[in-house]
């Protein structure tokens, strides 16, 4: 909103820099946005990371069904907060070592 009012990036950054969370919430509220009503991905960001899943396939040589582990990109719009986030990151790192 400050950028829409004609302030440049440096002005906005200087204005917001050093403000408390409460002050930033008040600023948002003064423009009609309640921080608590925003979706989690807008408040916390999103996570994109590798996940693993089991896929059923077919082996044409043996003519049998097989199960294989496959990687896929997981997009997470609901990241945990605080200590749960630290635990989440630690788990991701240890699973991918």
List 66's β-bridge partners, or say none. Answer: 57
The full set of domain ranges for the chain reads: 1-38, 40-97
Q: Is there a contact between 67 and 55 (Cβ–Cβ < 8 Å)? A: yes
89/95 Cα distance (integer angstroms): 10
Write the pLDDT tens digit of every residue in 22-69. Answer: 999 999 999 999 999 999 999 999 999 999 999 999 999 999 999 999
Cα separation, 16 vs 38, whole angstroms: 19
Q: Which two tokens stand for residue 1?
A: 């909103």
For residue 15, give the nearest of 27, 30, 29, 32 by alpha carbon. Answer: 27
pLDDT category of residue 96 using cuts at 50, 70 and 90: confident
């Amino acid at each position: 909103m400050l950028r829409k009012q004609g302030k440049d990036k440096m002005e906005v950054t200087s204005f917001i820099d050093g403000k408390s969370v409460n002050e930033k919430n008040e600023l948002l509220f003064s423009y009609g946005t309640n921080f608590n009503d925003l979706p989690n991905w807008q408040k916390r960001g999103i996570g994109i990371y590798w996940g693993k899943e089991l896929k059923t396939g077919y082996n044409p040589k043996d003519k049998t069904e097989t199960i294989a582990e496959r990687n896929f990109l997981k997009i997470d719009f609901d990241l945990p907060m605080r200590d749960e986030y630290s635990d989440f990151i630690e788990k991701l790192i240890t699973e991918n070592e």
